Every structure is written in structure tokens, then in C-alpha cells.
Amino acid sequence: MNLQQEKWWVDAQNDENAVILDVRTPEEFERGIIPNAINIDIYKGQGFIYMIEELDKSKTYYVYCHAGSRSAKACEVMQQLGFEKTFNLVGGISEWNGPIVEPN
């Protein structure tokens, strides 16, 4: 499901089962992230599938990329793999007005 950034962020902050998932490349990830994001690069193809399948399907995933299209695709793939709660950030980090931090 696509969410506008305010609802996406508020929901992620209020959801104790939230996981923020950044599906950009490692190079993009290094330039700054939404706080607490984990990085799984969708361009890894089958490697992306393998890493996604390791995640807990009971969690709620708030997914973003640069502009919103890769993360929308990631949400589709995740739903096909049995994830029920995936939320795409409309506009991605390029339109993000919230906090951005350096990755740990």
C-alpha cells in the first residue's frame, strides 16, 4: 500500500512491529537514511529475494527508495512472498521532509 510521507512516518513510529526497509543501493544508503532503516538492495535480484525471505513475516515493513518506484516493486515482491503488511513511501527519500541520519 502506498502512503504519503506523514502517515508513513507516524505509522512507523507508532508501530512496535515496524521495520524501516531501504531498498536502494549500498552507495545510496551511505549518503543518508531514514532513522533505523535496514538496507536490502532490490537490484540484487535473486539475492534480494533470499534476504527478504530471512525477514520476519509478522512484522510491518515501511519501505522506501529514492523516488518510490523500486520500493513499490519491493512491496509487490514481498506480498508475493507472504508478507501481509508492507507500506511504500510515496515519493521516496528524494521528497522526504523528515529526519535523515548517517548509517551506523
List the catalytic residues.
65
The pairing of beta strand 60-64 with beta strand 86-89: parallel
Q: Please give the grid coordinates belonging to residue 83.
A: 508478507
Q: In a 3-state reduction of DSSP, which class is residue 60?
A: strand
Question: Are the C-beta atoms of 101 and 61 separated by less than 8 Å?
Answer: no
What one-letter code names the amino acid at 42?
A: I
